[in-house]
Chains A and B, each alone.
Chain A
Amino acid sequence: MMRDEKLIFEKSVEGRIGYSLPENDVPKVDLEAFYPVEMLRKTAPELPEVSEVDVIRHYTNLSKRNYGVDSGFYPLGSCTMKYNPKINEDIASMEGLAQMHPFQDPQSAQGNLEILHNMDKYLSEILGMERVTLQPAAGAHGEMTGLMIIKAYHMHRNDSKRVKIIVPDSSHGTNPASAALAGFEVVHIPSDERGCVDINALENILDDTVAGLMLTNPNTLGLFEEDILKISEMVHGCGGLLYYDGANMNAIMGIARPGDMGFDIAHVNLHKTFSTPHGGGGPGSGPIGVVKELVPFLPVPVIEKVNDSFVLDYDRPLSIGKVKSFYGNFGVILRAYSYIRTMGAQRLKEASQTAVLNANYIRKKLEDFYEIPYNRICMHEFVLSAQKQAQNGVTALDIAKNLLDAGIHPPTIYFPLIVHEAMMIEPTETESPETLDNFIGIMQGLAVKAQDDPESLKNAPKTTYVSRLDEVKAARTPVLRWKK
């Protein structure tokens, strides 16, 4: 395949066009008469002048230098890269649903409002929560929304000394980052030798300055927090709230619910658990569910059903306000709605069960080749350590880059931070045993090579479109745009 190195700008030819617009059919406005001249642009923006052929070829070729779930296995831990059903795409592009303005009369948007209202119901059921808001645009956004609710809740109780949010040291970076944005002090607690929250450490820091605790369950090591009921009791006992990071919801759909575990707020990632595509980095959607006591604090508007109509309720005096314009990432929510309606309760449960079985299968097959710090039955993902291989000079990064040469997207590396040379593997339920066996074979082979011939594994990848890129140069002298 010929290498096409050029940027779209470098293919520009003056006078070429790639668009089709109707001819102007109204009187022309004299721009210089209508507007102050100094407000008019003197130089046109340097946009390319290319044909539609050029544009399609350019982006088609770019797409070939990319790898999606549709290309192959994508065992990225904590991302739940499950298959994105095509029916969801068809539904999301239905013009009768997508070509809608958020501010048009709610009476003229009853179809879309019903979808939003139903999603509130379905997700509440799945999470064991009272109501769900679909406004947050991503998981981290949902976290911030949840934390804002925690803040509002305590302030409403006139309890302004609750300034701390506790997060485990194994938590995803968005947890402390969101807490800081919401105006809290972040306190980290260690994990115990079993990889779970250290109950004693927790006891020592719980007091009336704690606003809440953020937990993922199963946690980022893929382990279920067995003491969750005790933790819930402890946190509530000191007057704090319990926040559920739903990134790992794919392990327990239809099997257990955060609401039953004692969580007061829970977010889910529609682009993880609910099969909506990752899009190369979004858009996502991070709805949050809350228990009854926190419903008044939900962002506005809340979609309510009044008689037989769906209405937008803005009359909520205790609401935290808005976290995003309009109602949420409707296009993403639509895909998740389509997914839930396709799967139903039993299949969702089967999805979680299969996800967990798949993860354990890989774990068992790799335990003799890699160190597995917490080697017991895991949930939908597990973490291995490439420490043994690193001693021979083959790091987790090297293993990841060699996987690229084998045509597989690597697992998540160097996360969670509490495991050295970590590789987090999450296969999901949409992968077949054959795919898993193929991956296992390659991973085993790499472990053997790391022992017998470590040098051969350095300097990967060798077969990809580009080889290892100089990230130091990119950060030292940032070049963030093309210039003519």
Chain B
Amino acid sequence: MKSSYIPMTRQQQEAMLSAVGVESLDELFSAIPEDLRLKTDLNLPKPLSEHELKKHMNMLAQRNSDACENSCFLGAGVYDHIIPSAVKHIISRQEFYTAYTPYQPEISQGVLQSIFEYQTMISELTGMDAANASLYDGATALYEAVLLASRFNGRKEVLVARSVNPEYRKVLHSGLKYSGITIKEVDFIREENNSDGKNGTIDLEQLQGELSKDTAAIAIQSPNFFGILEDIKALSQKVKEVGALLIAVCDPISLGVFESPGELGADIAVGEAQPLGNPMNFGGPLLGYFAVKSPLLRRMPGRIAGETTDSQGRRGFVLTLQAREQHIRREKATSNICTNQALCALAAVSYLSLMGKEGLKEVATQCINKSVYTYRSLLETGKVSQVFNAPFFREFVVKPKIKPNVLNKALLAEKIIGGYDLTVEYPELEGCWLVAVTEKRSVDEIDDFVDKVNSICQGGGYK
């Protein structure tokens, strides 16, 4: 049966073949050696009509425990936030999502202006001078930041806190393996009875020991992977001592309440902007943001929208600073990035426009209220113990009486997606559990969660 996506009819095909001057479709492929031409059809499943496809996908969805049917208390880099309905409608505008990259600015002012607005909002949140149009995710954004720093000051070492998201560090290690840049990881403080709020944050003494004139940059995440706030300001002073750059990885929702990395002295701010209007999507597409202070402007990788005027003096927007990009500079480009995450950035700018000044602050505040309430309630059960004693945002670490993976399996049976088991990535935190609570979790969901954790731990395992 014909495809509804291929308009050409058999009849029209005859006419076109003759216009081209060939006898058959096969003749069009005569440049391909006979040996290479497939003699049978590809071994793929039979085509499905729309109706059959929907049924098939529903069947697959049945085998998922999604975050609509289950309460999600899992974070660790990707978060289940409330997404306003309007966002979906904006990104479903066909002129946006079926458009190409805005290389022809005169017919792409929609995309270009929305990118400009997105760049403005990211700059505002992070307290930086400029932002780019997006990168693939927070992990690759960190990688690009490290490259930028190393090329900027010609140094070959980067100090990365171990409290930076493990996925990010893995991407850094893989990407930098043959780059000549060495990664030195710096531990976090892990003192049992520490009460100065530094628990779970970067070990500044160890950092001082590793810092040298070979250091290109320090990379720190705040709130870090454990949800704990790091002292960006203190680190900005340390980098000044050796003339290195400070890269801060910051969650954008948290920046509704916390001081911006720019204000605190960071040179580059990167992170994961998925929480801004983008669903979890099983880990992708995500939205890496990248922002810098002015001296680094022309070294920013990726696409950048800039303001200008047209021949009649009217304001308009174009992709600018392109001479540094792959399609012009080739092997000397700032990066290789071509396609980025434009539609996800559009979702983010729509989200931030709807939430506005007050809304973002309200979301962040509710995340704080709810995560702290959950934390205190869990500790009260006595079935879960404190691990770090430090202020956190939206996420915290506790140690349940039974192993996290066992606890999570039992919780799933109760329609709850439990927190992240830190055991694999942080052996010294064996049995520790990273729990996330967003504004989406109601007090009933939280009380139910605490209740279930309590009874499951009582039972000592599976129900």
Q: List the one stretch of A14-22, A197-205, A288-296, A388-396 in contact with chain B.
A: A14-22
CB distance from A174 to the nearest CB of B (A): 5
Is B100 within 8 A of A409, CB to CB?
yes
**Contacts of A32-58 to chain B: CB distance below 8 A:** 34-36, 38-42, 44-50, 52, 55-56, 58
B251 close to chain A: CB less than 8 A: no
**A114 CB contact (under 8 Å) in B60, B94, B325, B329:** B60
- Residue in B102, B257, B442 whose CB lies within 8 Å of A40: B257
A306 within 8 A of B: no
Please measure, in the bound complex, the distance between the C-alpha atom of A271 and the C-alpha atom of B339, giving whole angstroms: 9
A contacts with B: majority SS: loop
B318 to chain A, nearest CB (A): 5
Q: Is B96's CB under 8 angstroms from A66's CB?
A: yes
* Nearest B residue (CB) for A299: B174
Q: Are B333 and A229 in contact (CB under 8 A)?
A: no
Q: By the criterion CB–CB under 8 Å, are B258 and A365 in contact? A: no
What is the bound-complex CA distance between A332 and B133, given in angstroms?
19
User: A305 at interface (Cβ–Cβ under 8 A)?
Assistant: no
Partner of A19, one of B33, B343, B356: B356
- Whether A47 touches B357, Cβ cut-off 8 Å, given contacts A183-B179, A332-B285, is yes
Nearest B residue to A20, CB-CB: B84
Within 8 A of A (CB), among B165-194: 165, 167-168, 170-171, 173-175, 177-180
Give Cα A468–Cα B106 distance, bound, in whole angstroms: 7
A282 to B102 alpha-carbon distance, docked (Å): 11
Instruction: Please tell me if B64 contacts chain A, counting CB pairs below 8 Å.
Output: yes
Q: Interface-forming stretch among A235-243, A251-259, A447-455?
A: A251-259
The answer, yes or no, to whether A248 is at the interface (CB within 8 Å) is no
Decide: B99 and A66 in contact? CB cutoff 8 A: yes
- Closest Cβ of chain B to A137, distance in Å, is 4
Complex contacts, B140 vs chain A, CB 8 Å: 137, 141, 323-324
Q: Which residues of A contact B312 (CB under 8 A)?
A: 467
Given that A66-B95, A229-B36, A255-B38 are known contacts, is A323 also in contact with B174, CB under 8 Å in the complex? Answer: yes
B46 touches A344 (CB 8 A): yes
Out of A58, A103, A122, A252, which one reaches B32, CB within 8 Å?
A252
- A461 contacts the other chain (CB 8 A): yes
Cβ contact of B359, chosen from A17, A99, A139, A321, cutoff 8 A: A17
A97 touches B100 (CB 8 A): no
Collect the chain B residues with CB atoms within 8 Å of residue A180's CB: 331-333, 336
- Which B residues from 350 to 394 make CB contacts under 8 A with A? 350, 352-363, 365-366, 368-370, 372-373, 391
- A138–B339 contact, CB under 8 A? yes
A314 to B, closest residue via Cβ: B424
In the bound complex, residues from chain A placing their C-beta under 8 Å from that of B346 are 59, 279-280
**A31 touching B3 in the complex, CB below 8 Å, given contacts A25-B443, A109-B64, A346-B41:** no
**8 A Cβ contacts from B50-109 to A:** 50, 53-54, 56-69, 72, 74, 76-78, 80, 82, 84, 86, 88-90, 92-102, 104-109
Q: How large is the interface on A (under 10, 10 to 19, 20 to 34, 35 or more residues)?
A: 35 or more
Q: Are B90 and A432 in contact (CB under 8 A)?
A: no
Given contacts A55-B350, A79-B100, A347-B47, contact A260 B36 (CB under 8 A): yes
CB of B423 closer than 8 Å to a CB of A: no
Q: Is A111 an interface residue (CB 8 A)?
A: yes
- State the CA gap A114–B64 with chains docked (Å): 10
User: B1-27 vs A: 1/0 string, CB under 8 Å?
Assistant: 001011110001101110111100101
Which of A47, A105, A108, A271 is the most central at the interface, judged by chain B CB atoms within 10 Å of its CB? A47
B283 and A350 form a contact (CB under 8 A): no
| B107 close to A464 (CB less than 8 A) | yes
A350 to B9, CA, bound (A): 11
Structural contact, B37 and A255, CB atoms closer than 8 A: yes
CB distance from A363 to the nearest CB of B (A): 8
Q: Provide the bound-state CA to CA distance between A48 and B370, in Å.
A: 26
A114 to B60, CA, bound (A): 8
Cβ of A1 under 8 Å from chain B: no
A384 at the interface (CB under 8 A from B): no
- Complex contacts, A64 vs chain B, CB 8 Å: 95, 110
B320 and A25 form a contact (CB under 8 A): no
**In the assembly, what is the distance between CA of A118 and CA of B359, in Å?**
41
Q: With a 10 A CB-CB cut-off, give which of B36, B48, B359 has the most chain A CB atoms.
A: B36
The answer on a CB contact under 8 Å between A66 and B257 is no
B341 and A283 contact, CB distance less than 8 A: yes
Pick from B97, B197, B283, B417: contact of A325, CB below 8 A: B283
Task: Kindly supply a per-residue 1/0 record for chain B positions 322-345, scoring 1 wherever the CB is within 8 Å of any chain A CB and 0 otherwise.
Answer: 110111111111011111111110
Task: For residue A124, give the distance in angstroms from its CB to the closest CB of chain B.
Answer: 10
Interface residues in A453-484 by Cβ distance below 8 A to B read 459, 461, 464-471, 473-475, 478-482
CA distance A19 to B257 in the complex (A): 18
Query: Is A278 a contact of B175 with CB atoms below 8 Å?
Result: no
B296-339 near A? 1/0 per residue, CB < 8 Å:
01000001111111111011111011110111111111011111
Complexed CA–CA distance, A39 and B82 (Å): 25
B178 touches A49 (CB 8 A): no
Whether B240 is near chain A, meaning CB under 8 Å from some CB there, is no
Taking the nearest CB of chain B, how far is it from the CB of A63, in angstroms? 4
Q: Is the CB of A347 within 8 A of B96?
A: no
B46 touches A327 (CB 8 A): no
Complex Cα–Cα for A42 and B357 (A): 13
CB atoms of A377 and B124 under 8 A apart: no
Q: Is A101 within 8 A of B64, CB to CB?
A: no
CA separation between A25 and B437, bound complex, in Å?
13
Known: A48-B353, A357-B28, A480-B119. A326 touches B283 (CB 8 A): yes
Judge whether B35 is part of the interface by a CB distance below 8 angstroms: yes
Q: B98–A277 contact, CB under 8 A?
A: yes
Query: Which residue in A16, A41, A59, A357 is a CB contact (below 8 Å) of B259?
Result: A41
Q: Which of B155-163, B202-210, B212-220, B274-282 contacts A (4 or more CB under 8 A)?
A: B274-282
Given the complex, which residues of B lie within 8 Å of A358, measured CB to CB? 8, 16
Q: Which of A43-94 contact B (CB under 8 A)?
A: 44-50, 52, 55-56, 58-60, 62-71, 74, 76, 79, 81-85, 87, 89-91, 93-94
Q: Is A234 an interface residue (CB 8 A)?
A: no
Q: In the docked arrangement, what's the CA distance between A241 and B326, Å?
A: 23
Inter-chain CA distance A340–B68, complex, in Å, is 27
Q: Which residue of the partner chain, among B60, B111, B123, contacts A115 with CB atoms under 8 Å?
A: B60
Q: How many whole Å from A314's CB to the nearest CB in chain B?
A: 9
6 intermolecular pairs with C-beta atoms under 8 Å apart:
A29-B369, A45-B360, A47-B124, A140-B339, A468-B311, A480-B131
Given A40-B257, A344-B47, 14 more contacts at CB 8 Å? A31-B365, A50-B354, A59-B114, A68-B99, A70-B94, A111-B59, A112-B60, A181-B335, A280-B101, A280-B102, A280-B114, A322-B167, A327-B283, A345-B44
